[in-house]
Structure 1
Amino acid sequence: MNHPAAGASWPELEALHSWMREARGELTFLRLAKRSLEAGHPVSERTLRRAFGMRLPQEETVRAYAGAWARWTSARDPEGDEAGQARWRAFEARGLGLLAAAVSTAPERPALLWPPPVYVPGPISTWPALTKGLKRLYEETGSPPLRVLAASPRAGGRLSKSTIGNILNGKHPTLEQLTALLAAFGASRKTTDGMLAAYGRIHARPEPPAVYPCDIVERAENEREALHAQEEARRRYHGIAPEPELDWYDQQLRDEEEAKQRRLEMWVDSLSDEELAALNQAAAVPGRDLRSELNDVRNRLGKAPGPPQTA
């Protein structure tokens, strides 16, 4: 059952909210969601939180509140399981009755401030096509200011100006954001069903693999930049000065030195203790130790000294 959104509260809605506050008690919304799951009515933390808004909750949300109440009060019930079940059902029935009263007295949905769009999408199956369809719907409404669109009663407070702007510029919306945006446009049931079906098709398709060399290189570069950004953030958090940027020539020298170090490390690791001792004894310079030299190389590269690790 889809309940309307209203622009202001009314007594029956306030009574429902008061019942939900009683059901919640001192629980956080996270623990409330856990209790509702244990009671057999799984509802997300976000949905439970949003039930206190102007949009009337679904029946399942009210049942989740009642189930959570039964779970957190069960330890305080001295009357036994059967009596506890009866109290639970009575409490749930009271909440459903308050919901029905709020639905029947809810104010009429405000009229649209712009003409409803008429575009009905075809079999959209890609993100760019979905974005193009949303832009067309926005244009058919007369392109109202994003601030006004976000504040419209039909949006139900679920969107911000920046969120709408990002979606129209190609950012992938969540299902809730897409539904709210279509409601704000005033899209018909046929248009809404078409766009939601497109959203489902897009998520049902696997991400295409990297086939072209350019795509592979680009993904690798993006991963490298992400790792670099994480390292810089770690350094800032610990108060470590950022590494100076190397020019192309210095970077090549560093890469070559690192490659030599890795080869040396692998070679020394492949030696047994007897072979390493014999090699040290045969060294031309008295006291020469290959592992110490390897640590010197690691120090020059800014790495922690210590025994070489197996590659």
Structure 2
Amino acid sequence: MNRRTAAASWPEREALHAWLREARGELTFVQLAKRSAEAGRPVSERTLRRALEVRLPKEGTVRAYAGAWEKWASAKNTRDEAGQAAFGSAFEARGLELLSLAVSAAPAGPAPSWPPPTYVPGRIGKWTSLTKALKHIHEEAGQPSARRLAASPKAAGRLSKSTIRNILNGKHPTFEQLAALLEVYGASPKTTSGMLAAYRRIVPVPEPPTVSLCDVVERAESEREARLVQEETRLRYRGIEPEPEVELDWYEEQVRDAREAEWQRLERWVDSLSDEELAALNQQAAAAAGRDLRRELIKARDRLGEASGTPPAG
């Protein structure tokens, strides 16, 4: 590690790099790139190498490391396909969490040298209009280069200069990319709110989950109860009186945590919807099966707390 990289280190970044080294194991970067491609997450050898050298990697690079690790782990154990998938999901979720913590805790760099945009777009409903509004914001900020924007601390691990350049040239960004770019510009709250509202008008509202959120927790409870019954039967057959409660081992906890992360992702998805979008979805769900998304989330959270022995959130 060179002096410049070492000077830019902080605890959360070191924790992320420790995870990256664990995911790499004893693989060369050539082998790591090959495994990540086999996992359906192709990333170049150079990008994988730089993840351990630059300030912070991008989310796609972290996912590539996780995919390569899962390919290695699946060849070293005898778990069934579902168990291996949950195990790999938990490992990847940990890496993404460490990346998020590292980005949040990154030392503040120098303030951007461009004026913060205050332009508020009108009611945009087309991609061309969104790109035009984004160029207006870019001009208001003094037309900083994509390199300067990508070098901003707020872009670290989220936006590269090529991504920024492509978006400004008309490529459709994801919601996360647009939000990150507006944050890099230092756009005013009204500017950010107007642009993100325009994005939601352009991009179709996703359909509600086909599987009830409660099903995730109920499935976890059923599997847990089945394991307990099997363990009690085995012990009684050997003449041993089972304990009142069998604690989950490390692997089972990882599986449970992966399922918990899944319904939390769904909870964040519902919370991200506007009141109008949520009302429209609830009308569709009620017409189909009498569902209420927020009520299901509350039930799922309470039942998960009962399954893990944790009291429900207030």
Q: If the TM-score is normalised by the length of the shorter chain, which range does it land in?
A: 0.3 to 0.5
TM-score normalised per structure 1 = 0.41
The structure with more radius of gyration? 1
Greater relative CO (CA pairs within 8 A, separation 6+): 2
TM-score normalised per structure 2 = 0.41
